[in-house]
């Protein structure tokens, strides 16, 4: 088998449990299995509390796995040391939901973008300046953005900057945790298109985490639906969006807003029925 045929990331039987006292345990993840191919975007969708963010945190090394394995490019990183995790930070990056909280307001954008380059060992000021200018242009921001501070930009612009920071070191995998949910609809589309373009041009693998199946379809070839810490449906994104098999997936689709009052009322009724069916499972 060629290297290109093997997944970049394999999640095997992932379980995460939290003790809650008196012998009780909360099972956040209950044996999740998924793969992310090289240069592939996988959408991970579910409501709040479904466990989707927990998966992202385990991949990033922020939450320990209770059981199961994470295989990244053939290496078991499930219980990687702190030093190894620091090195993996060059290859596995993250874009958070809140672009305001993810950028230090006291630092210029240039300093923020230079930090991962310097952490990777680059001390050449000219190379760093050129790389910062290049990545700003690639995310649709002017070069003089580097001289300014986060508070001088809109939410959408700050998210573009956050994406620039995530990809400036050319990582192999980027975990996108609800990266557009805090943005206006028109800005969402722009940021989604940017992620699509960067994924193609930089051959990135993306794990795109969202509660919105419509958004996930826009960026991912494959969709994984999570409910109460378990995968209930996965497959081709278009197929899942147009012909969902599971009641919970249908409920998620029915919950998506549409810009038409009459159709929106009909959609809400469909969501109520679908949600009842999903709860009965």
Per-residue pLDDT of the chain (281 residues), as tens digits, is 456 679 999 999 999 999 988 889 999 999 999 999 999 999 999 999 999 999 999 999 999 999 999 999 999 999 999 999 999 999 999 999 887 777 899 999 999 999 999 988 888 999 999 999 999 999 999 999 999 999 999 999 999 999 999 999 999 999 999 999 888 888 999 999 999 999 999 999 999 999 998 899 889 999 999 999 999 999 999 999 999 999 999 888 877 665 545 554 555 555 555 555 555 55
State the greatest distance between any 2 C-alpha atoms of the chain, in Å, as a whole number.
61
DSSP H or E segment with residue 248: helix 247-255
Q: What is the dihedral of CA 214, 215, 219, 223, to 10 degrees?
A: -60
Helix residue spans in 36-81 (DSSP H): 52-59
Residues 6+ apart with CB under 8 A from 248: 225, 227, 232, 233, 274, 278, 281
Q: Tell me if 236 sits within 8 A of 244, measured CB to CB.
A: no
Residues 6+ apart with CB under 8 A from 57: 63
pTM of the model: 0.88
3-state secondary structure at position 10: strand
Classify burial at 14, counting beta carbons within 10 Å of its beta carbon; exposed 0-12, middle 13-18, buried 19 or more: buried
User: For 108-136, how does the pLDDT look when each residue is reduced to its tens digit (9 = 90+)?
Assistant: 999 999 999 998 888 899 999 999 999 99
Tokens representing 215 are 């958004």
Strand partners, 245: none
């Amino acid at each position: 088998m060629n290297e290109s045929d093997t997944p970049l990331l394999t999640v095997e039987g992932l379980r995460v449990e939290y003790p809650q006292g008196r012998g009780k345990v909360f099972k956040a993840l209950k044996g999740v299995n998924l793969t992310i191919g090289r240069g592939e975007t996988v959408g991970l969708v579910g409501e709040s509390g479904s466990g989707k963010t927990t998966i992202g945190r385990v991949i990033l090394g922020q939450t320990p796995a209770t059981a199961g394995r994470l295989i990244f490019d053939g290496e078991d990183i499930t219980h990687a040391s702190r030093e190894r995790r620091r090195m993996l930070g060059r290859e596995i990056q993250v874009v958070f939901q809140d672009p305001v909280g993810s950028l230090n307001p006291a630092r210029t954008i240039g300093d923020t973008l230079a930090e991962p380059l310097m952490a990777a060992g680059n001390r050449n000021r000219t190379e760093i300046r050129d790389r910062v200018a290049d990545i700003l242009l690639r995310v649709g921001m002017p070069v003089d953005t580097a001289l300014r501070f986060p508070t001088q930009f809109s939410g959408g612009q700050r998210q573009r900057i956050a994406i620039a920071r995530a990809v400036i070191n050319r990582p192999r995998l980027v975990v996108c945790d609800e990266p557009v949910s805090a943005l206006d609809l028109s800005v969402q589309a722009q940021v989604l298109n940017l992620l699509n373009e960067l994924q193609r041009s930089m051959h990135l693998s993306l794990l795109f985490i969202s509660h919105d199946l419509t958004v996930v379809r826009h960026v991912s070839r494959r969709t994984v639906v999570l409910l109460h810490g378990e995968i209930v449906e996965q497959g081709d994104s278009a197929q899942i969006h147009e012909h969902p098999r599971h009641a919970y997936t249908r409920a998620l689709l029915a919950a998506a807003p549409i810009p038409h009052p009459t159709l929106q009322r009909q959609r809400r009724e469909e969501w109520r029925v679908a949600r009842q069916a999903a709860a009965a499972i």
